[in-house]
Amino acid sequence: MKLTLIAGARPNFMKIAPIIRELEKRKEEGLDINYRLVHTGQHYDPALSASFFSDLGIPEPGINLEAGSGSHAEQTAQIMLGIEKDLLNHTPDILVVVGDVNSTLACSIVAKKLGILVAHVEGGIRSGDLGMPEEINRKVTDSISDFFFTTTTSAGENLVAEGVDPSKIFLVGNTMIDTLVFQQEHFNAPEFRNAKRDFLLLTLHRPTNVDDPMKLEKLLNEIVRGAGEVPLVFPVHPRTKKSLDRIKDLPDIEFLNPLGYNQFLYLVKNSLGVVTDSGGIQEETTYLGVPCLTLRSTTERPETVEIGTNVLVGQEWDRVQEYVRTMAKGNWKQGRIPKHWDGKTAERVIEKIVSILK
């Protein structure tokens, strides 16, 4: 049995790591299963890529396609050109893609056109907002995938509503939570000025929130006002840094360089709450029971709002301030953990893939 696994951007690495660990385990147990890890090179800065490989114990990829940055079309095209050659040279029985980044989309299209089976881990989640590039990536990938490994019941329901055969959908849970469970004992504190105080953690990288420096400045000011005396700690994504560099009077926030996985998760776990526009952080905070305020009007992860600790605040700035104030005071709803988010998702994924390929 031969699998090709795709990883390209930061959030992919947490999703692929437990799958690789499980494959290694099954190989050691004598199962005839081989895999080739392809890094598309969508993320290339050591802080966004190499540090995750070492933190998460991911082996060197078989190849790095070095696609790099660019417009969506350029980046997607570069990845497609690279993966086509690789799939022709090392044809697998199945291609496994995770998440919803441009690498996910590019590789699934190419594999499918070469007649290779495609499995999508984290299939079926939908924000309903086609203004998000990730939503386009999800819908296109799911429209051509053969098998779907879902994180929640609602993801499966979305797929069925779009005409997917229910026998191809497997509710397995969340591989990102597998990584969290596995790594938890390795979380460690980064150096930061406010380490001895209660703090709020901030992360922003969505184009709609960060690409316009004026809009970003206004948003940051609202958050700082809401936080009051409670310090804000903000590890900055390179995309966001480009806009921050154009703001003259930066608000009183402790800006950090992007962090590795174990240091970032230490901050999440030990914060009073997280203000974010990320997808995965909505899930990580729900698992850890940490308050989360999401600066978006839609989410593809509704369970984090319905049963978890997440609140969606959209883009109404006055409400942002009010919610951050509530979070800073330590008043927040309690949440629960969705079914199957138990650290054993990758086992279920590989079990199923083995039975499909047999």
**Quick one: which segment of 7-15, 181-189, 294-302, 305-313 binds ligand UD1 (CB under 6 A)?**
7-15
DSSP lists the bridge partners of residue 294 as: 276, 312
Starting at the earlier edge strand, list the strands of the sheet with 292-294: 254-256, 232-235, 200-203, 273-276, 292-294, 310-312
Confirm or reject binding of residue 11 to ligand UD1 (CB under 6 A): yes
Q: By CB under 6 A, is residue 239 in contact with ligand UD1? A: yes
Query: With binding defined as CB under 6 A, does residue 276 bind ligand UD1?
Result: no
Residue 135 near ligand UD1 by CB under 6 A: no
- 133 lies in the site for ligand UD1, by CB under 6 A: yes
Q: Give the nearest distance from C-beta 79 to ligand UD1 in angstroms.
A: 10
Is 10 a binder of ligand UD1 (CB under 6 A)? yes
Q: Helix 261-270 vs helix 175-183: angle between axes, to the nearest 10 degrees?
A: 90
Among 82, 144, 68, 76, which residue's Cα sits nearest to residue 108?
144
Q: Min. distance of Cβ 300 from ligand UD1 in angstroms?
A: 11
* 69 touching ligand UD1, by CB under 6 A: yes
Catalytic residue among 39, 43, 205, 340: 205
> Is residue 42 close enough to count as binding ligand UD1 by CB under 6 A?
yes
Q: Name the minimum Å distance from CB 334 to ligand UD1.
A: 27
CB atoms within 10 A of CB 175: 27
Q: Please, what is the minimum distance in Å from the beta carbon of residue 133 to ligand UD1? A: 4
Q: CA dihedral in degrees (111, 134, 126, 20; nearest 10)? A: 50
Q: Does 300 engage in binding with ligand UD1 (CB under 6 A)?
A: no
| CA 144 – CA 275 distance, rounded (Å) | 35
- Cα angle for residues 165, 171, 177 (degrees, 5° grid): 145
* Helices and strands (H, E) in the chain, number of each type: 15, 13
# of chain residues touching ligand UD1 (CB under 6 A): 18
187 token code pair: 């979380």
Binding to ligand UD1, residues 190-229 (CB under 6 A):
205
**Bridge partners for 63 per DSSP:** 38
Nearest-angstrom CA–CA distance, 298 and 210: 17
14 binds ligand UD1 (CB under 6 A): no
Site map for ligand UD1, 88-127, x if CB under 6 A? -------------xx-------------------------
Residue type, 75: Q
DSSP state of 8: -
In the chain the first and final C-alpha atoms are separated, in Å, by 8
Of 1, 2, 34, 45, the one binding ligand UD1 by CB under 6 A: 45
Stretch that binds ligand UD1, among 6-14, 173-181, 212-220, 293-301 (CB under 6 A): 6-14
Binding-site member from 22, 86, 134, 347 for ligand UD1 (CB under 6 A): 134
- Nearest 5°: phi and psi at 39? -95, 125
Active site residue 72: no
Instruction: Rule CB under 6 A: say whether 298 interacts with ligand UD1.
Output: no
Applying CB under 6 A, which of residues 2, 44, 198, 256 lies at the interface with ligand UD1? 44
Q: How many Cα atoms within 13 Å fall on the side-chain side of residue 349?
A: 35
Residue 211 C-alpha from the chain's centroid: 20
List interacting residues with ligand UD1 (CB under 6 A): 9-11, 42-45, 48, 69, 75, 101-102, 133-134, 205, 237-239
Active centre residues (catalytic): 205
